[in-house]
Amino acid sequence: MLSSLVEAFKVKELRNKILFTLAILALYRLGAYIPVPGIPFAEFANAYQNASGAAMTMIDIFSGGALSHFSVFSLGIMPYITASIIMQLMQGVIPAVGRWAREGEPGRKKITQTTRWLTLALGLINAIGYLLLFQSSTYGVVFSSEVPHWLTSFIIVFSLVAGTAFIMWMGELITQRGIGNGMSLIIFTSIVSRVPSAIFSSGTSQGDTGMGIAITILILVVVLLCIPAIIFVERAQRRIPITYAKRMQGRKMMGGQTTYLPLKVNAAGVIPIIFASCLIYFPAQLAALFNVKWLDTFANAISSGWLNWILSFVLIVFFAYFYTSMIFHPEEMGDNLQKQGGFIPGIRPGSATVRYIRNVIRRVTLPGGIYIAAVSVIPAILFSFTGNQLIQAFGGTSILIMIGVALDTMTKIEAQLKNYNYDGFFK
């Protein structure tokens, strides 16, 4: 792998793409430490440290610590992710959006543009919510009286929304001119940026420094041992054999080959976790927007503890089925097979094939949903008993995102290397 990276840097075009990606990610991390104008930084940092609950802590992790600094990038990439999820769901609900998805490049441009506007709208709602939350009695942030209150509020909201737009622009730049998916790499960077401080905190949190270092090493070893198992499951597939009937096309005999229809065990990826997290932490967003005490209490109650674990597990499995049903359409798959002269050995074409594919998808989705639910919930349970920040940094969602993004980026670099006849990462 190291030799392949060396070869990748020998190719000027690929080297420029990698360096461009790294430069954009460095700019993103710099923005996470630039505070919003008008915020009393020291007072806010102390108030945030003392008042933040489990919901705000989890949101701060995905912002790369930007929220705890109330930086211009405090909203992070979450408004864009939420907008993208909404647009993806709308493709199966609103016929016009579904037609856009089937129109090719013009339709993708319409979806992209709508996603951008929806991101700004969600960013505006979140910005107003955070402004009201941090001015509430929970945090007690007081602005300077030298500047009109309405002007300070406007500057803060405008800065947060502009930060979201800038993050969205940087992600699209990486996708177009760099290596890998820009939005995924930004999330990856946000999560990884918390690891060094979590390691330091884990090593020094115990009264006995030697014990703290030993626990930290043990956690890192367990994480390293879990990574190959997670990669194995992420790449696992249920392959349905497909045979194409022989037919004459002109003077040539076509068909007759046997292939397979791959169905991933975890076809939904981390989307069910994101869906479940958005639903569980939605009351926290409402509490921030309306500053309702009982709603804030309810949000914190379902953001940690046994209630959070049960809700997370059930919702993740549910959304695994829900999202898989959105991306896999057995009726279309069966219809396409029949049109192309393909069939599943031992299964009659038509409705029988559709039922067979649907049943296979259901059977594969259950272990996949249980797997991602367990990976997400088990670290949360361990963190609740130990309070170790390293376990929180290497939570199930974080590990799945980091591994998924790393595999995707390596695959894309591999594809670029193959254009120059190099061996690449995968032998």
**Residue 9 shares a structural domain with residue 114:** yes
The answer to the question of residue 163 being in a domain is yes
Same domain, 171 and 283: no
* DSSP one-letter string for 158-214: HHHHHHHHHHHHHHHHHHHHSSS-HHHHHHHHHHHTTHHHHHHHHHHSSSSHHHHHH
- CA pseudo-torsion sign 43, 46, 51, 52: positive
pLDDT at 166: 92
* Helix (H) or strand (E) run with residue 252 in it: strand 252-254
* Shared-domain flag, residues 138 and 257: no
| pLDDT at residue number 288 | 60
Average pLDDT of the residues in 55-63 = 69
Does residue 206 lie within any of the structural domains? no
pLDDT tops 70 at residue 99: yes
Same domain as 55, residue 21: yes
State pLDDT tens for residues 22-46: 999 999 988 888 888 877 777 777 7
149 plus 15 within the same structural domain: yes
Distance CA 170, CA 161 (A): 14
> Within a domain: residue 62?
yes
Whether residues 379 and 417 share a domain: the answer is no
Whether the CB-CB separation of 423 and 8 falls below 8 Å is answered with no
Residue 199 lies in a domain: no
Q: Are residues 384 and 413 in the same domain?
A: no
Is the domain of 177 the same as that of 273? no
Of 26, 18, 28, 21, nearest to 167 by C-alpha is 28
**Domain check: are 169 and 230 in the same one?**
no
Per-residue pLDDT at 138: 67
Sign of CA dihedral 406, 408, 410, 412: negative
- Same domain assignment for residues 279 and 427: no
Are 34 and 181 in the same domain? yes
Find out whether 72 and 31 touch, Cβ atoms under 8 Å: yes
Is 203 inside any structural domain? Answer: no
The answer for residues whose C-beta is within 8 angstroms of residue 408's C-beta and 6 or more apart is 180, 181, 184
Residue 77 near residue 190, CB atoms below 8 Å:
yes
386 alpha carbon, distance to own chain's centre:
26
Question: Please, are residues 283 and 289 in contact by the beta-carbon 8 Å criterion?
Answer: no
SS3 at position 249: strand
Q: Are residues 169 and 241 in the same domain?
A: no
pLDDT in tens, 197-213: 777 777 676 666 677 78
Identify whether 213 is part of a domain: no
Domain presence at residue 188: yes
Domain for residue 117, yes or no?
Answer: yes
The sheet with strand 237-244 has its strands ordered as 258-264, 237-244, 342-343
CB neighbour class for 95 (10 Å; exposed up to 12, middle 13-18, buried from 19): exposed
Identity of the highest mean pLDDT range in 237-241, 392-396, 408-412: 237-241
Once rounded to an integer, what is the mean pLDDT over residues 360-372? 88
Domain of residue 322: give its range: 223-394
Rg of the chain in Å (alpha carbons): 24
Q: Note the pTM of the prediction, 2 decimals.
A: 0.75
Task: Please count the structural domains in the chain.
Answer: 2
CATH number at residue 278: 1.10.3370.10
Residues 6+ apart with CB under 8 A from 103: 110
3-state secondary structure of 254: strand
pLDDT tens-digit profile of 396-415? 777 777 887 777 777 777 77
